[in-house]
Structure 1
Amino acid sequence: MEPATWACALANRTVTSWFIVGSEPPAGRDAGAVSFPGLCRKMLCKVLCKALCKVLCKVLCKVLCKVLCKVLCKVLSKVNFVVCQLFALLAAVWFRTYLHSSKTSSFIRHVVATLLGLYLAVFCFGWYALHFLVQSGVSYCIMIIIGMEHMHKYCFVFALGYLVVCQITRVYIFDYGQYSADFSGPMMIMTQKITSLAYEIHDGMFRKDEDLTPSQRDLAVRRMPSLLEYLSYNCNFMGILAGPLCSYKDYITFIEGRSHHVTRSGEDGREAPPCGGAEPSPNAAVVQKLVVCGLSLLVHLTVSNAFPVEYNIDAHFQATASWPTKVLYLYVSLLAARPKYYFAWTLADAINNAAGFGFRGYDRHGEARWDLISNLRIQQIERSTSFKMFLDNWNIQTALWLKRVCYERTTWNPTVQTFVLSAIWHGVYPGYYLTFLTGVLMTLAARAMRNNFRHYFLKSPQRKLLYDVVTWAATQVAVSYTVVPFVLLSIKPSFAFYSSWSYCLHIAGLLVLLFLPVKKTQRGQDPHEHRRLSRSKKFDENSWGQNSFPTTTNNVCNQGPAQAARHPSGTE
């Protein structure tokens, strides 16, 4: 072999061994010299490191962006809700000042209220606001196409079914367990309005007056609303985000400027003092409710986080805390969870009042009452001495809706059906169903206890005081025990809580129902006999044995003195 050929072959074998095997260069080679294999390895490492860093950065950025977006969406959704409600408050003042019924037509008021409401919905929820129009639009088509005899049933099934589908997609596809503002919240209020109006139209345009209860007769709608009136009722800026529910007749009366012209009676059933026909100002009521909002928000931001409901199922707490400590913490933690509801519902009430909506009449002292669509009575809630009294003053308009569309219209076990409907309407979290099924048991047991023992404690003021103290403590503990799954949402922590309490109140409720006699209600009687009893002085529409839901109607001020006197003032 020639020397040149031999040298080339040797060089090829050496370079190949350096590059592939990674052997060191021959002895005598300058250590500082850059060899071809070393250069290749360095370049390869550089390329690999660069590619790896690029991939890692891309993955980390994607994960961080996803987390940040989720956090920002939660924060911004809550900020959007508060900002929109504050804007609605200012818009309500402007609406009452510049678009008063004495200055413009009902058509303009309907248009402006609807457009502002849709704008707030789009600003707060984006394209999800289309669900509001779909639900309202299809329901209106059902009202127009289906006959008056059955359209209320079809509207009820569609509106509630559409709400449930939206809740399922939001909970199990998008954001399980989050309480951030979501589009299904306003849809819950819209479902109430759609179904209430459908039943009111059915009562007014199909059923006979003699077959209606006094409240149904008073709320009955005698003509089909126009599309503009319907959209204004469902999507007005005052109630599209947080409600509360109001009757269609009350809303139309407000838009047309007839709220303070109708005949009204005082809270004691007697005629209110004359007021010269002047329209009352809501300013004092609005300021008072805004103060309540501020205090509720302050308590929520400072106290609520210090007493989380989840701590009730903490393993260390369950193992070390005594029973009195568990009971006390249960009450305090659920007490601290209520101010956020006080804030949202009171602010919504203030917005409606600022627009001039919510005037109920005058009290015995001649003071204007702006609680026509109020959703809660805080003092009565915190001083409740019975399960019924708590329900009567908590989420009042929802309780009225449940009473009007379910409790009054069903013939089989209305209490159970009403609680089931309430659970379905609230959402698809398992904790909701545990709460409302437990609520059925607590309601029936409390009713039996009250009917069998209360009359023994009315013979003297001392006994009555003792009864009130004991029943207040029992009610607060029972309510807190019942609603823990409502806050925890999931099935496992809910059962963990009930297990830590050994299901003691469930067992106590079952024992009460088994061993104490329960008075029968008038549900099974003939309708004419039921109407005769309802007109009797001995028949109390708000008695514990008859109804576990508030019987206050929205337009009590439009009723006669005898009927208005039967409506509760918030106490038993």
Structure 2
Amino acid sequence: MVHPTYAGCWLTEPIGNLVGLPVDQFNFMSSQFLGIFFGLFFHLKLQPPDTSPTLRHIYCLVVGLTTVWFCNGWETWHLVLQSSVCYVMMNTFPPQIMHMCVLIFSLGYLVAMCLYRYLLPEDMQFLDITFPCTVSVQKLSSLAFSITDSHRYKLDNNCLTDSQKKRVISKPPNLLHFFSYMFYFQGILAGPFTFYNDYIDFIDGRHITSRLETKDDDKKPLVDPKSISPLRVVFYKCVMLGVWVYLYLHVSSVLVPTSNNADADFIQRHTVFYRLGYMYVSMLCHRSKYFLTWTLADIVYNASGYGFNGLDGNGNAKWDMVTNIRVEKIETATSFKTFIDNWNIQTTRWLRYVCYERAPFLRTHLTYILSAVWHGVYPGFYCTFLSAIWFTLAGRKIRRNIRPHFQESAGMRALYEVLTWVGTQLPMAYIVLPFTYLNVAPFITFYNSVYWFFHVLVAVILLIPFDRKQARHPQDTTKTSTPQTEMTSSPGRLSNGNSQRNSTQDTS
């Protein structure tokens, strides 16, 4: 039972009891499902140019505020206060320091709330306002950096990367645009985060037309924008949503619960090899929790007409602009980079934009640390992200020095793919495991029971003095990943250790 201090709506508790969900989780899930219908109405009845951008802003803002109030009640004022202070900073602080002030304040506000949550008794740690606040930090900081980049660009038009130039904003938005962006209903509860420019393009009606190819003579789209409909992809993603619901509620929670990994009796009854295999299977099924949450959020975006990403090679519409996961690439990943690039994708984009591209040194280290702080204060988050730094560096070293020796034949390349798949999936499950416990004792128990095997292996790999010149095979012409492309999000909001606090991060 949810603690009576829960600030959201309690009128739905009887219905939640009927379906077996606490009132906080029922409110969250029902709000997301209702968001699909609000989105369909928005797409079908409030399309531009028939509907003005102002009315579209108001609709998104009002529905978003109502949604977050329904789930979080009076705690909504935290979002309003955090956003309002940052808006004042954007309009008054010198641009040279404004972006960092906004990032520090918004992140510090989130950490303070997470610390308060962490110190509460376990029965009071329900879905609260800290989950929407993680997304608001991304919006506020990215908007502030985009405004500062405008001033930097005026001084030196070569100082920005291509992605930074794309996001430049000449001045702070007006109040309606700002609060509409902060509270739009499609991403207010679970994200995923989107950049301000993309949101404004969506509201103004440029979201689809700007991504369609045009004729050279009159610049008219080759495809009629009105023919682009999200209904088919919404239906498909609803089917996939049912799969993730089944995997999480039946398979993950009942057949292979992650709690067994740290259970003393389970550890005593099974060998290390069996438990490592169980660890992989249990974490694979546990990921369905995040697949469920992010697929549902993606459906809400697409239902409202947001998420179009151009046409594929066959001329079919792609609706993956705000997609947060690519399941097939995650489960077949043969490197940490591939895994993380396809997990909590929008958080990865944010981390790259505000940290990785701008860090003066130790880019990977600072990016993982920022991701850990953004996720909250639970020890499990920090164990995962600090471990991920060294596992990522070890993975790069293996690719640079070992891969060239497996390029002489198709058989050797296939063997390398199999070995790297195992060497990615098992260690990833191993370092993300603390997200399922959050607190120290359970994951320390598990790590002790497997003798910290992968940590020791990574330490050995990092200490081996490979000779790069000898390692690179003369016939290997394949480009290896550069540090510029190796940025990672967090394995849980990799993204969040609680359903939304989610990186790799519930929102794990």
- Taking structure 1 as the reference length, the TM-score comes to 0.77
- The answer to whether structure 1 residue 203 and structure 2 residue 135 are counterparts is no
User: Is contact 1:272-1:364 (8 Å) kept?
Assistant: no
Which amino acid in structure 1 is aligned with residue 392 of structure 2? Answer: T
Alpha-carbon distance in 1 for matches of 2:124, 2:348: 25
Query: What is the Cα deviation at residue 175 of structure 1?
Result: 4.0
Which amino acid in structure 2 is aligned with residue 188 of structure 1? Answer: T
Task: Kindly report which structure 2 residues correspond to 1:149-548, keeping only aligned pairs within 5 A, or say none.
Answer: 149-173=96-120, 175=122, 178=125, 180-207=126-153, 208-262=156-210, 264=212, 274-305=222-253, 306-517=255-466, 543-548=481-486
Summarize deviations over 1:488-526 as a string: whole Å, max 9, x none: 111122211111111111111111111144979xxxxxx
Q: 1:110: which partner in 2?
A: 57
Summarize deviations over 1:321-342 as a string: whole Å, max 9, x none: 1232111101011011111110
Q: 1:81 to 1:272 in 2, by over 3 A?
A: farther
**Runs of 5+ unmatched residues, structure 2:** 470-476, 490-508
Alpha-carbon distance in 2 for matches of 1:121, 1:507: 45
Query: What is the Cα deviation at residue 275 of structure 1?
Result: 1.6
Query: What is the Cα deviation at residue 550 of structure 1?
Result: 6.2
Query: What is the Cα deviation at residue 483 of structure 1?
Result: 0.7
Q: 1:181 to 1:279 in 2, by over 3 A?
A: farther
Alpha-carbon distance in 2 for matches of 1:77, 1:107: 32
- The answer to whether structure 1 residue 140 and structure 2 residue 78 are counterparts is no
Alpha-carbon distance in 2 for matches of 1:76, 1:516: 56
Alpha-carbon distance in 2 for matches of 1:65, 1:389: 38
**Corresponding residue SS for 1:210:** coil
Which amino acid in structure 2 is aligned with residue 394 of structure 1? Answer: W
Question: Matched residue pairs, number?
Answer: 465
- The answer to whether structure 1 residue 84 and structure 2 residue 31 are counterparts is yes
Alpha-carbon distance in 1 for matches of 2:41, 2:441: 49
Alpha-carbon distance in 2 for matches of 1:68, 1:189: 23
User: Is contact 1:114-1:237 (8 Å) kept?
Assistant: yes
Alpha-carbon distance in 1 for matches of 2:383, 2:44: 47
Summarize deviations over 1:230-262 as a string: whole Å, max 9, x none: 111110011101111111111100000011222
Query: What is the Cα deviation at residue 298 of structure 1?
Result: 1.1
Query: What is the Cα deviation at residue 222 of structure 1?
Result: 2.2
**Corresponding residue SS for 2:120:** helix
User: Is contact 2:364-2:488 (8 Å) kept?
Assistant: no
Alpha-carbon distance in 1 for matches of 2:260, 2:117: 27
Q: 1:67 to 1:175 in 2, by over 3 A?
A: same
Alpha-carbon distance in 1 for matches of 2:139, 2:231: 27
User: Is contact 2:2-2:123 (8 Å) kept?
Assistant: no
Q: 1:68 to 1:162 in 2, by over 3 A?
A: closer
User: Is contact 1:385-1:468 (8 Å) kept?
Assistant: yes
**Runs of 5+ unmatched residues, structure 1:** 1-63, 521-537, 552-572
User: Is contact 1:89-1:354 (8 Å) kept?
Assistant: yes
Summarize deviations over 1:179-229 as a string: whole Å, max 9, x none: x42211111011111101111111123333310011111111123211111
Summarize deviations over 1:316-363 as a string: whole Å, max 9, x none: 222231232111101011011111110110111111111111111011
Q: 1:530: which partner in 2?
A: none
Q: 1:321 to 1:368 in 2, by over 3 A?
A: same
Alpha-carbon distance in 1 for matches of 2:354, 2:5: 43
| Structure ID, larger Rg | 1
User: Is contact 1:148-1:205 (8 Å) kept?
Assistant: yes
- Taking structure 2 as the reference length, the TM-score comes to 0.86
**Corresponding residue SS for 2:209:** coil
Q: 1:41: which partner in 2?
A: none
Summarize deviations over 1:126-156 as a string: whole Å, max 9, x none: 1011111111111101101101111101000
Provide the identity percentage. 37
Q: 1:287 to 1:214 in 2, by over 3 A?
A: same
